[in-house]
Amino acid sequence: MDELVARPAWAGLDLPLSLGGVTLSILPDGPLASLAPLRGQERAVADALGAALPGPGRMVALPGGGRLIWNGLGRYLLAGAAPDARLAGRAALVDQSDGWTGLALTGAGAAVVLARLVPLDLAPVAFPAGGVARSLLGHVDCLLIAGTAGFEILVARSFTRTAVHDIETAMRAVAARRALPQGPVGAGP
């Protein structure tokens, strides 16, 4: 039988891209699943995962590797780990490994770039490392995770090209401001 060739969502896009000290790259993909505890099963799900379910805007590292990321009302993303068999019947698990594209925006000016697109206060005091938010990236729904070196940005796979284009445009504008003789007044976080 013919072997199918996988075509990733970012095929044809010029990444990683660095501009003005900020780098946009693709996150390595791995297993990703939507997890929604069934009614009354929250405890059992937590037990199966070995970690308490993260509250809104949070995520937790799982003991067996991977992360559980809050993903809106009653939903989580199980990232980087295959679903534990004990979750069966306790949570609605839905494969999303091909549903999302993960982007990383890193560098000192990452928040400044995202301020062009995301209507959130991204300053560390307001959105510290480890924080999770569902919001908008331009006109596209996104899931944002704050890290120490920048942000992870998840968008639905079909929006990958738009998201990359929008981020790249913002990166160019920020980089141009940095090149201004009087310095980047007005471009701060």
Partner 1 sequence: MSRLASGGLIDRARRIPFAFDGRRLTAHPGDTLASALMANGVRLIGRSFKYHRPRGLIAAGSEEPNALVTVGAGAEATPNTRATGIEPYPGLAVFSQNRWPSLGFDLMAINDRLAPLLGAGFYYKTFMWPARSWERVYEPLIRRAAGLGALSGARDPGHDEKAFAFADVLVIGAGPAGLMAALTAGRAGARVLLADEDFRMGGRLNVERLEIDGAPAVAWAAAAVAELAALPNVRLMPRTTVTGVYDGHTYGALERVGRHLADPPEGLPRDAFWRIVAPRAILAAGAIERPIAFPDNDRPGVMLAGAVRAYVNRWAASPGATAVFTNNDDGWRTATDLAAAGVPVTALIDARPGVAPPDGPWRTFTGAVVTGTRGIRALRAVTVRDAHGERSVAAECLAVSGGWNPTLHLSCHLGARPVWDAAIAAFTPAPDAAPGLSAVGAARGAFSTRAALAQGAAAAAEALAALGIAAADQAVPYAEDAATTITPLWRVARTTGRAWLDFQNDVTTKDVALAAQENFRSVEHMKRYTTLGMATDQGKTGGVAGLAVLAELTGRSVAETGVTTFRPPFTPVPIAALGAGGAGRGFAPHRDTPTQAPIAARRAPLVEAGLWRRPSYFPAHGETTWREACDREVAMVRGAVGVCDVSTLGKIDVQGEGAATFLDHVYANTMSTLPVGRVRYGLMLREDGFVMDDGTVARVGPTQFFITTTTAAAGQVMAHLDFAAQCLWPGLDVAFVSQTDHWAQIAVAGPKARDLLAPLVATPIDDAALAYMGCAAADIAGVPGRIYRISFSGERAYEVAVPARWGAGLFDLLVERARPLGGGPYGMEALNVLRIEKGLLTHAELHGRTTADDLGLGRMVASAKDCIGKTASRRPGLSGPERQQLVGLRARDASGRLAGGAHILEPGAKAAAANDQGYLTSVCWSPTLGRDIALAFLRDGRARTGETLRAVCRLRGLDTAVDVVAPPFLDPDGGRLRG
Partner 2 sequence: MRIACPLCGPRDLREFTYRGAAKLLDRPAADAGPEAFDDYLHIRENFAGPNPELWHHEHGCRAWLRVVRDTRTHEFLATELAHEGSR
**Binding span for partner 2 by CB under 8 A among 8-16, 35-43, 132-140, 180-188:** 132-140
**Binding span for partner 2 by CB under 8 A among 9-17, 40-48, 81-89, 130-138:** 130-138
Distance, CA of 87 to CA of 41 (rounded, Å): 10
Quick one: which of 58, 86, 116, 134 contacts partner 2 (CB under 8 A)? 134
Measured between alpha carbons, how far is residue 147 from residues 13, 60, 110 in Å?
24, 13, 11
Q: Identify how many contiguous H helices and E strands the chain contains and give both numbers.
A: 3, 11
Q: Are 59 and 125 in contact (CB under 8 A)?
A: no
DSSP for 39-55, written as a single string: TT-HHHHHHHHTSPPP-
Q: Cis ω on the peptide bond leading into residue 16 (within 30° of 0)?
A: yes
- Does position 136 interact with partner 2 (CB under 8 A)? The reply is yes
Nearest to 144 by CA among 182, 117, 181: 117
Residue 96: name its binding partner from partner 2, partner 1, none (Cβ under 5 to 8 Å by kind).
partner 1
Tell me the per-residue interface mask from 35 to 64 with partner 2, x by CB under 8 A, - otherwise.
---------------------xx-------
Residues of the shown chain interacting with partner 1 in the complex, contacts defined by CB under 8 A: 1-9, 11-12, 34, 36, 38-39, 73-75, 92, 94-100, 115-116, 118-121, 123, 125-126, 138-140, 156-162, 166, 169-170, 172-173, 175-177, 179-180, 185-186, 188-189
